[in-house]
Each structure stands twice: as C-alpha cells, then as structure tokens.
Amino acid sequence: MSESLIPQLPGFDDPLAVLQACHQRMLAQCDVLQKLPAHVAVNGVDEQARSALRRVVTYFSTSALQHHQDEEQDLFPLLKRQSLELAERVDRLQQDHRRLDDLWGQLLPLLKAPAARGESPDFASRAAAFCDACREHIQVENDELLSLAQQSLSRSQLQGLGRAMARRREIG
C-alpha cells in the first residue's frame, strides 16, 4: 500500500492536533458501535460482531479514557486560568465528560455480555444515546475549544501539554 494512502497521525509536538485526531477515532468507533445492533439482529453475535465489540470496548476503555485524562488533567486546567469565559466553557465540557462516563457505564455491561445483546431492547438505545452524546461533545470541542486553546495557550504551555500526553501513554 502506498504510504500516501496511510494517514499521518500528528505527534505530541502538536497536542491539539492529537486531541482532534482522537476525536476522529472516537467518531469512527461510534459509527461501528451504532451498526452493531442491526448486525447482531441479522447475524447474531458472530465473529465479526465479537471482533468489533472487542475493538470498541478496548478503545473506549483505554485510548478514549487517556484522551479524557489529557483534557481533564492537563488541557482544562490551563484553559480555566486564561479567562472566565473559557472557565465556564470548560466547566460545561467537564459536565459532558461525567455524562459520557455515566452513559458508558450503562452500555459497557451490555457490550461485555454477548448473549444478552440480542435480547436486550436497551442495547440499541444505549448505544445511540452514548454515541449521540459523544458526537455533540466532540463537535463543541472541535468547533470551539480547540481553536480557543490554539489562540489562548503559549508555545511553552502547548509543549508542556504534549509532554504530559506522551508521558500518559509512556512515550518519550
């Protein structure tokens, strides 16, 4: 495969681009998750469904969790110190994170119990609720927060953010 077809992932020297790339991966996982109920209804919990479920659970239990830690522990505190307006926006996004955590907590047991998924009327609705909330949250972060962060944070603050994100992943 030509290397030009493989998308380049940003490095931690551009931490805001890393956060945006994480958002894109979250959206892709949500797309997979929302297709699962229809797939399971037709095919049952076959190997394709089990594989997709493992990837979704692994992603949202590791990479997405690290992403929220990047924001909660490193980015949000920096932004809260910039202005009252940014602090209020960050507070709303932190509330979104709590809501996403709650929705994931309701969905995860269904994702881990393959036999129950086909029988659970909650599976599709909980998957949709989680994914809809993710999409709304990501849109706000992409459309508002990341550009405000780019404008508000100094080069040294961005470098520190990138170093903290890399350490969280035990890189560098």
pLDDT in tens, 59-75: 999 999 999 999 999 99
Upper half-sphere CA count for residue 169 (Cβ side, 13 Å): 19
Q: Where are the domains of the chain?
A: 11-168
Q: Is the pTM of this model over 0.95?
A: no
Say which CATH superfamily domain 11-168 falls into: nmb1532 protein domain like (1.20.120.520)
Whole-angstrom distance, CA of residue 132 vs CA of residue 153? 30
Whole-angstrom distance, CA of residue 171 vs CA of residue 157? 19
Q: Which amino acid is at 70?
A: D
pLDDT in tens, 86-114: 899 999 999 999 999 999 999 999 888 76
pLDDT in tens, 111-166: 887 655 555 778 889 999 999 999 999 999 999 999 999 999 999 999 999 999 99
Whole-angstrom distance, CA of residue 69 vs CA of residue 102? 16
Contacts of 57 (CB under 8 A, 6+ apart): 108, 111, 112
